Amino acid sequence: MHLGLKLFLGYFLIVGLGVYFSLNILGVEIKPAFRQATEETLIDTANLLAVLARDEVLNGNLSNGRFQARLAEYAQRTPNAEVWDIVKSTLDHRVYITDERGIVQFDSTGQAVGQDYSRWNDVYLTLRGEYGARTTREDPDDERTSVMYVAAPIRDEERIIGVLSVAKPGSSIQPYVDRAEAKLRRAAAMLVAVSLTVGLGFSWALARSIHRLAAYARAAAEGQRVTVPQGGGPEMQALAVAVATMRDRLEGRDYVERYVHTLTHEMKSPLAAIAGAAELLQDELPTTQRERFVSLVATEAERLQQLVERLLALATVEQRRELQEQRPVWLWRIVEDLLVSRAPTITRKQLRIDQRIPENATVLGESFLIAQAMGNLLDNALNFTPDQGIVTLDAERVGDAWRLTVANSGGAIPDYARERLFERFYSLPRPDTGRKSTGLGLAFVREVAHLHGGNITVDNLLDQSGKATGVAAKLTLPATDYC
């Protein structure tokens, strides 16, 4: 199913459900609203007629009095009124009066005179001084036969001497309810039609933008020179720019150019030293000078070899998207092996190693990569620690990860270099020799950390007064509870 069709169907479903539930809610509210309005009108009518009938109730002249005559005249009227396109041709109010015992004394239809209505709510509640009303179905199984009754007290000063009830059949208001519901359905249908038209246009525009972007990606994959598609809103434009950026990176122009330029710059110095030494070694030289130049050639060749090896290692890690294996790795074992291999440097500089890594510090990942990363951190610490300094190795559990800290005493990281520590080929001079490294170590450590789902930070150590006392590198890797 095409994306545009999916969006349209999803939009249609949301709008349809919204209209459906709204229609149901309004439909449920329409009939009660009409009934409430009718009841309010009946209250006014009942109270008006109760006042008009009071004197004849007191005189006991309801059957032959003016009140009865006026109601009979009312029943003969034909209003022929047009109310909201609905013609009303009959009057359908029924009026009956009960005495203070609830016995019907007067009925405009003549059918209930003498009957006991004291138990009907309209009469019963009104005689008690409360608001009396009821709705009763003439046919219990047919809601359309319901009749609404509203009563008002007939008072002789403060005493209730009777009750006047006005009845109105629900069938008289049903045409208005049906008309309102029909209008509501037509409005809902129009709303659905307009919403679907808007949704169709929106889905078409979005699908068109996506198709244009897909066509651009296909053309770029085939090596065609095409421009970035425009339009589609800021999100689609951002996506198009991201695809263009990805295309440039996949083609490798920016990546290769940056690496070649930097690598060429880094190789110039050792190659020039080797070439100069080789030229001098062609002549007759004293033994001391010959040995010095031979040592220089060996040192610079080793530097070139390290540069190439580390660059290849970094490129390999950068191209990987996932780990090849995930096994428990004991950090203290790797550190012990690293300290043994770095023993000559530690002894030569008379360094003190404070190893405090717990034996249960176990992470999940590739042992070789983790060892390489930790080796780079340890080498940096050893190189930047002054003679007789201290290197501390520690690990602590932080949630679902272990955080390895490699800290050294000595000088602080300059402010200008703190933002460039993980930049490829960037390196600070070693304090004891003044020489720089390949500048690939921390970049490699960061790639290994990200590949494992962890992170690496390097910052100065500060004492209580805010003075720098050294540098700490913190490598965080996912933990495992393997025993």
Q: What CATH number is given for 252-319 in this structure?
A: 1.10.287
430 compared with 64, residue with greater pLDDT:
64
- Which of 271-280, 284-293, 469-478 shows the lowest mean pLDDT across its residues? 271-280
Q: Which residues, in sequence order, are CB contacts of 202 under 8 Å at separation 6+?
A: 7, 11
- How many angstroms separate the CA atoms of 29 and 51, rounded? 34
Q: Which of 21-30, 160-169, 181-190, 293-302 has the highest mean pLDDT?
A: 160-169
Alpha-carbon span 118 to 61, nearest angstrom? 21
252-319 and 320-478 in the same fold = no
DSSP string, 208-223: HHHHHHHHHHHHHHTT
Geometric angle at alpha carbon 40, from 142 and 180, rounded to 5°: 55
Q: What is the mean pLDDT of the chain?
A: 77
Structure tokens belonging to residue 25: 């809610």
Residue 404: pLDDT band with limits 50, 70, 90: very high
Question: DSSP 3-state helix, strand, coil percentages of the chain (rounded to 5)?
Answer: 55, 20, 25
Is the model's pLDDT at 176 over the cut of 60?
yes
**Residue-wise pLDDT tens digits, 222-255:** 655 456 666 656 666 676 667 666 665 555 444 4
Q: Which residues, in sequence order, are CB contacts of 165 under 8 Å at separation 6+?
A: 46, 95, 96, 97, 98, 117, 122, 123, 132, 149, 150, 151, 152
User: Assign residue 385 a region: left if phi > 0, alpha if psi is -120 to 50, beta otherwise?
Assistant: beta
Rg (CA), the chain: 48
CATH 3.30.450.20 fits domain 3-178: yes
Query: Is 60 exceeded by the pLDDT of residue 83?
Result: yes
Lowest model confidence (mean pLDDT) among 13-17, 107-111, 152-156, 436-440: 436-440
Element (H, E) at 36: helix 3-59
pTM of the model: 0.42
State residue 396 phi and psi, 5-degree precision.
Answer: -140, 150
Please state which CATH number belongs to domain 320-478.
3.30.565.10
Q: Is the dihedral of CA 381, 357, 353, 389 positive or negative?
A: positive
Q: Per-domain residue ranges for the chain? A: 3-178, 252-319, 320-478
